Amino acid sequence: MLPLIAVPVLHSSGAWIASTAAGGYVAATLSSTWVGAFIAGNAGILTGLGITSAAGVLAAMGGGLSSVGAVLGSGLSAIGLTGVAQSLGLAPATFLGLTVASWALVATSVVAVGVGYFFTQKKLAEINQERAKGGLAAVTLTEIIAEVRDYEKQALMNILEELEAEYRGIIILNRVLETVVIRGKTYNVSNLKYVIEKTGREYLGQRSNMPFRKIVLFVVKKK
């Protein structure tokens, strides 16, 4: 059975939270932004497609793009992104599950058909009805994916900025050009993803024919 698309709805607090018709509110998806709630509620589908990664999911589930930097007093290479998730009160099992590897079964059925497979016109209409209640303009499926990709990119740049301070001379981030130099090679930030495997291994991966199989940099946690 394929997963349901969770729809962000207005919460009584004034924030957004993902909801499914069958199960009500989705735990740990409360966000100050519509896109944050959408990513948190649909993380499995979005990571399976390679649209987002642990970077965007963590920012979305942690409450916003600034969440990573706010809890990195020890440094990312000291505690890893999994440690950041724990600092934010996210269940490790839930967080570690949101990876390309552990969503292999989803990915095999999703990659071939794309995210549009999960979106009926009725579902998109439901999304826009809820957006209207929050004073947001209607969006198309293409615009939703573009917004998710941009959120992922901003989240990853925040993480790269933290890594730049720790891996001095190895990582050089250019926010204006949205590129990063890693060990002398330049990458477009949009082509990189932060991956957490079931084993706890964490790394920056580059897009390839098999999603993120090319490892660019291991984030080695200090003992």
Higher pLDDT, 99 or 39: 39
What distances in angstroms separate CA 174 from CA 28, 140, 161, 182, 214, one per listed residue? 32, 31, 9, 11, 22
pLDDT at residue 201, rounded to an integer: 84
194 in a structural domain: no
Task: Tell me what pLDDT residue 143 has.
Answer: 94
Range of the domain at 141: 7-168
What pLDDT score does 65 carry? 79
53-107 tens-digit pLDDT: 888 988 888 777 777 666 666 678 888 888 877 777 776 555 555 544 434 434 4
Question: 40 or 208: which carries more pLDDT confidence?
Answer: 40
Whether 198 is covered by a domain: the verdict is: no
What does the alpha-carbon distance between residue 151 and residue 16 come to, in Å, rounded to a whole number? 16
Is the distance from CB of 203 to CB of 188 less than 8 angstroms? no
pLDDT at 199 (0 to 100):
78
Inter-residue contact 95 to 58 (CB < 8 Å): yes
Residues 151-166: what's their mean pLDDT?
Answer: 92
Q: What's the pLDDT score for residue 119?
A: 76
Residue 100's pLDDT is what? 44
- Residue 50 belongs to a domain: yes
How would DSSP label each residue in 101-113?
Answer: TTTHHHHHHHTTT
**pLDDT for residue 153 is more than 90:** yes
Q: Is residue 204 part of a domain?
A: no
Structural domain contains residue 173: no
Between 221 and 38, the higher pLDDT residue: 38
Find all residues with CB under 8 Å of 36, minimum gap 6, and list them: 16, 59, 60, 63, 64, 151
Number of domains in the chain: 1
Reading the block at residue 112, the tokens are 């071939």
142 has a pLDDT exceeding 50: yes
| Mean pLDDT of all residues belonging to the chain | 81
Whether residue 187 is contained in a domain is answered as no
In a domain, 54, yes or no: yes
Q: How far is CA 22 from the centre of its chain?
A: 24
Q: What is the pLDDT of residue 133?
A: 95
Q: Whole-angstrom Cα distance, residue 30 to residue 60?
A: 8
What average pLDDT does this structure show over 107-117?
53
CA distance 84 to 188: 25
